[in-house]
Amino acid sequence: MAWKDIIYLHKYTANEIEQLSEKTSAEISIDISGYIGFSEEQLHALNRILLKQDYTIALQYGVNYLEKKEGLIYNLDILKYIPNVKNLGILNQEYKEAIESFDFLTNTPLLTYFYTLGLFKKSISFEPLRQLKYLKKLKLDLGLNKKQQEVINDIITSLEFLYVPEFDLAKTPLCPALKFFSIDKKLISSELLPQLFPNLQSLYLKKIKNCEDFTFISDMINLRRLTLHWIFQFDTIPNLSKLSELEILEIVGSPNLQYGLEYIYDLKKLRGLMLTELQFPVASSFTPLTKLRKLESVYINFRKNNKETSIIEKFVEDNNWAYMQPGLAGVTI
């Protein structure tokens, strides 16, 4: 099976589940539609193969509109039968009934990766996260109140990957292990990023409205990937001379960008470049990209200006680069 293939557990008998570990790789995601209901035999079989492969389990929480069948296990109760799971996502995308507690995490002590998506109670307690002693990756589709942020601050030093919509760095401890940090709403005290996350390799900021000064990026010397996504006030690329390890630069949906392009041309290890919705630079501004010997993909377009975009496309083609987003061109870190 190909990477990112999904297995829908309700289509498999217990015997067929037992054989999955011999036919698939750990990159497979197993979808569990919790509202359908599963037998103990199916779930025990799944728990056994989780000892052999670290599949990602995506548990779809939902309301069962039909009469529940006796002997079947539904929704979050399923987790009581699969304590061997290490990678778990809880998805509540029906938006009918909010999940009010993370207490179910007491059933999954081996988790290294946990993520949420959908409807959860806004004031849900994060305290159960403290019990996850092996947790390395955390992705929460939730805003953070003061108590929730306190829990994250207490566990963040052991994390390598953190995604939250908003974050306040003011009381965050030093986190030398953190490699990936993603925010898509609000980042407070952003100037502390280089100091608190000195070994960060990937920074993703999306729709950050409260930040006007991005010069802190200049001191994030270990970054290998920088993504700024739909930050309309972003008009100046800061000095990138210290970012000698940067391989991927993506500035998506920044129509006000007009200054600091010259810093791109000194990124000797740059392999992928993406700039979209540009208004002020012209295609000829990017001629110095030819100095970057490791470039593999370049995707640049101009807002409501097909002429300049066409010139860039021809320029990219002439230099044998892929005219596509870095990820689609296979340029990753």
Residue 4: predicted pLDDT: 53
pTM: predicted TM-score of the whole model, two decimal places: 0.93
Residues in the chain: 333
The torsion angle over the Cα atoms of residues 246, 195, 135 and 139, rounded to 10 degrees, is -70
Residue 2: predicted pLDDT: 40
Mean pLDDT of successive 10-residue stretches along the chain, which has 333 residues: 72 95 83 95 97 95 78 96 98 90 98 96 96 97 92 97 96 97 95 98 94 96 98 96 98 96 97 96 95 98 95 97 96 94
C-alpha separations of 23 from 14, 32, 53, 85 in Å: 15, 19, 11, 19
Three-state DSSP at 174 gives coil
Q: Quick count: other Cβ atoms within 10 Å of Cβ 174?
A: 12
